[in-house]
Structure 1
Amino acid sequence: MSETPPPEKSLDPGLYIVATPIGNLGDITLRAIEVLKACDGVACEDTRITGKLLKHLGISKPLWRYDDHSEHRDRRRLVDSMQTRAVALVSDAGTPLVSDPGFRLVNDCHSEGIQVTAIPGPCAAIMGLTLSGLPNDRFMFAGFLPNKDKARREYLEGLASIDSTLVFYETAPRLLKSLDAIATSLPNREVTVARELTKLHEDVRRGLPHGLMAWYEANPPKGEIVLLVGPPVRVETTDADADALLLEALETLKPSQAAAQVAKRTGLDRKALYTRALGLRSE
């Protein structure tokens, strides 16, 4: 006579943020499986993708679509349900809320005093950082770059002075344009392209932007990408060196523009360079 399987561990009402695999289904954690088995339902970006994961795990649960396009009433309905039910939140892959939906839902739960629990697991940004070989003592996750060329360039220029490794998510069709923008806005920085992480064709390449552009022009990329840019390279610059760079820049640029350009190249203070540029122009 077969034994009756033990009952599933019950969960307190609330929201459970569950990280799921970014490619290899073997990366699901034991705790994530326990929560998905015990919850009352799962809020997800795409019910088809989450349905495949649950089927692989042998789990059957109600699935409720929730993404950044969901209406306020849908979010309100979910929040209300958490007063008496345990609801798991998953994204299509990886850790929810990291460039994925969920911020408003979590914010509302905190406002209502609803318990929020995170079940850690796979995250493409962190995996890309650990594989990149770039400095990881300080890093900034900056999401997806803007789609338009001008906005992309301005966004990167706004990050130029941040002394840390920059981490972006990117898509294969936009990779070459993003590498070109990095070469222009963040010159002389090492870049790592981490593609298809945990999947069969995982690929990690590191180099300067133009070299990577040449590679991917000859070998068009596919799949999901984590794009990482190393911190500014600090080179000791003397006053004479700075003056020479400013004089060269002032041949074609206004003092404010010349100061910004030299600051980007050297890491020197832009305001001090602007004052010096005004002095050089008047000499």
Structure 2
Amino acid sequence: MSTLYLVATPIGNLEDISARALRVLREVHLIAAEDTRHTGKLLKHFEIETPLTSYFEHNKLSKLDNILAKLAEGDVALVSDAGTPALNDPGFELVRAALAARHQVSPVPGPSAPLAALVASGLPTDRFLYLGYLGRKTTERHAQIAAVSALPYTLIFLETPHRLLDALVDLQAELGDRSLAVARELTKLHEEIFRGRISEAAAHFDEFPPKGEITLVVDGANPDAGQWDPARVRESLKVGLARGDSVSALSREISAKSGWKRREIYRLASEMQAEFGNQE
């Protein structure tokens, strides 16, 4: 049987591609690429003439049979635009289909933005949780973050420049002012890794709007931290009330993760709601 190779490609610096990756890309019968124009530039730089076919989010299911047919004739490589394929990119379905057809699946390790950001963050690396992109809407982000707020693992998210500030606000509301690293443009000319508190990152990127791909690495929950302090409860209530959540829903949600009794939060939320009403 043939082999489907999952080939990691540079996330910015072309020198990061491995000798094995270049050999595999030259020897396979076909390269399935997320963006053939982008990968075509990479292949041209290294004088690789292997045929390309597109394989991206919106055609990943319709192209399965075609790629499997090619795999029956010889080895195929899967690549993403940058980094390790099938990690937050199309590929899972193809890997599963190749295995079901009894082909070999072999990783060709290399660049990965989440791992590069993690090891350079200064935060614990022994246990971590990769969660991909945060939701586009505030309600989605709050739900995602709340679901992992009590976990002791270092958290890794991807984010876009235009949503970064909103994401930082939501992270602080749900997690408190934890330590984090904001890594952008990794391995490129303008690489930046900001390390500090969430509030400090928000102030920094408000003053210096970010560009490029962004990875967020956030400290996990401290199991010995115990109950939230009043300031954190008030901040989380403030955000929830501002987005229109009911006092009852906020009390139930925050009580579950703060260590506070629900009736205490309900009383505080009602007082804050009245304060907001008087300010309008």
Same fold by TM-score greater than 0.5:
yes
Q: Which residue of 2 aligns with 1:220?
A: 209
Q: Is the CA contact (8 Å cut-off) linking 1:20 and 1:90 kept in structure 2?
A: yes
1:132-281 paired onto structure 2 within 5 Å: 132-235=121-224, 237=226, 254=248, 258=251, 260-265=253-258
1:258 to partner: Cα distance: 4.2
Percent of aligned pairs sharing the same letter: 40
Return 5+ residue gaps in structure 1 as ranges.
1-11, 278-283
Q: Is the CA contact (8 Å cut-off) linking 1:188 and 1:233 kept in structure 2?
A: no
In structure 2, relative to structure 1, the CA distance for the partners of 1:79 and 1:275 (3 Å cut) is: farther
After superposition, the C-alpha distances for 1:115-174 in whole angstroms (9 at most, x for unaligned) are 111100000000000011111111000000010111111111111122201101111111
Candidates 50, 67, 75, aligned match of 1:86: 75
Q: What is the DSSP-based 3-state SS (H/G/I as helix, E as strand, rest coil) of the residue aligned with 2:149?
A: coil
After superposition, the C-alpha distances for 1:79-112 in whole angstroms (9 at most, x for unaligned) are 1211121111000000001111111111101111
Q: Which residue of 1 aligns with 2:272?
A: none
In structure 2, relative to structure 1, the CA distance for the partners of 1:236 and 1:59 (3 Å cut) is: closer
Q: Which residue of 1 aligns with 2:277?
A: none
Q: Which residue of 2 aligns with 1:9?
A: none
Equivalent-residue separation in structure 1 for 2:214 and 2:118 (angstroms):
12
Equivalent-residue separation in structure 2 for 1:209 and 1:225 (angstroms):
15
Q: Is the CA contact (8 Å cut-off) linking 2:172 and 2:199 kept in structure 1?
A: yes
In structure 2, relative to structure 1, the CA distance for the partners of 1:148 and 1:36 (3 Å cut) is: same
1:2-21 paired onto structure 2 within 5 Å: 13-21=2-10
Q: What is the DSSP-based 3-state SS (H/G/I as helix, E as strand, rest coil) of the residue aligned with 1:204?
A: strand
Q: What is the DSSP-based 3-state SS (H/G/I as helix, E as strand, rest coil) of the residue aligned with 1:193?
A: strand
In structure 2, relative to structure 1, the CA distance for the partners of 1:133 and 1:71 (3 Å cut) is: closer
Q: Which residue of 2 aligns with 1:4?
A: none
Return 5+ residue gaps in structure 2 as ranges.
235-245, 266-280
Q: Across the two proteins, how many residue pairs are aligned to each other? A: 254
Determine if the alignment matches structure 1 residue 35 to structure 2 residue 24.
yes
